[in-house]
Amino acid sequence: MSKLAIVGASGLVGRNLLEQLQKREFKIDEIFLLGKKSAGSSINFLNKDCIIEDIEKFDFNKPDYAILSAGSDVARNYANRFIESDCKVLDMSSYFRYEDDVPLIIPEINGDLITKKTNLVANPNCSTAQLLMILDHIHKEFVIESVMITTFQAVSGAGEQGIKELENQSQSISTISNIFSKTIAGNVIPQCDKFLDNGFTKEEMKLDWETKKILDEKINVTSTCVRVPVKNGHSESVFIKVRNEASRSSIIRLLEGKEGVKVIDDPSKEAFPTALENANKTSDVYVGRIRSSKINNEDWISCWIVADNVFGKGAALNAVQILELMKKTDEN
């Protein structure tokens, strides 16, 4: 049993964290829900109304673990305050992801990096998490040399405000865009996050940076991240150059039955995963449209990956799995 604090529990990801904690029956002695603007409001958890406390007035010595799910500013301002009070921190933002001494964790891939001395862990980007759940197995078997990817990212990736903007614009296309750079209803926008000096967006660079840190620093990832008028569920079209020859059947055999992965791939039945069908409060990462090809005598694998970017592996699930691993490591 343990005491847990969640900062940002009233947000979209925060509420899904609470759902995953309940679904996975994570044992908690006491939970502290923290915020600023939301302080004083209540959230139901385990059939109890929990009052959100003002983080500025909170005693940081109370919890054993803290999940920060309220952006980089919160991570910058409060992570060390928890750590200095002997509380271990899991940060959901990008603030600590690229620090050399902070493990960036997908438990199925590199969970062994967490030790009893680990007091700060970073959760990966939503698009990275679902991508690497597939690439990890392919890399071990066929050795990945490079990856080209186009993401099709749901508006929920921009939080509750992103969902509301899509809903409002679906009612009136003339509604002003505040969250996205252009109208999202009836449109696709080849931009997620801000543009960097190299012409890529930060979201696109996250896929490269995080793949190198989690999987293999030799793998280069080139991507275009696209926001689409879908409420929830990120989809990815992935093109993978591998060193060892791979057949479609061998790839399917490799992925079938792997923890957290579901293969839906039967062209004769037009069977493949979609965000609408397979990213609605689902925990698994779904893969289909699996193909292999020779291009200029090089071996390539193509596939289509879908996952719930909020409740599932993209955010809440991976975070709770990390928390479970931290707690188990401390108890052993």
Structure tokens belonging to residue 41:
């409001």
Of 87, 126, 192, 303, which one is the catalytic site residue?
A: 126
Residue 225 is among the residues annotated as catalytic for this protein: no
Write b or e for each residue in 172-188: b if 16 or more Cβ atoms lie within 10 A of its Cβ, otherwise e: eeebeeebbeebbbeee
Of 87, 137, 192, 234, which one is the catalytic site residue?
A: 234
3-state secondary structure of 57: helix
Residue 234 is among the residues annotated as catalytic for this protein: yes
Nearest to 33 by CA among 59, 8, 13: 8
CA distance 123 to 212: 15
The number of beta carbons lying within 10 Å of the beta carbon of residue 133 is 25
Residue 305's beta-bridge partner residues? 236, 287
Nearest to 302 by CA among 313, 315, 293, 312: 293
Classify burial at 121, counting beta carbons within 10 Å of its beta carbon; exposed 0-12, middle 13-18, buried 19 or more.
buried
CA distance 79 to 66: 9
Classify burial at 1, counting beta carbons within 10 Å of its beta carbon; exposed 0-12, middle 13-18, buried 19 or more.
exposed
CA distance 243 to 262: 25
Report, as residue numbers or ranges, the catalytic residues: 126, 234
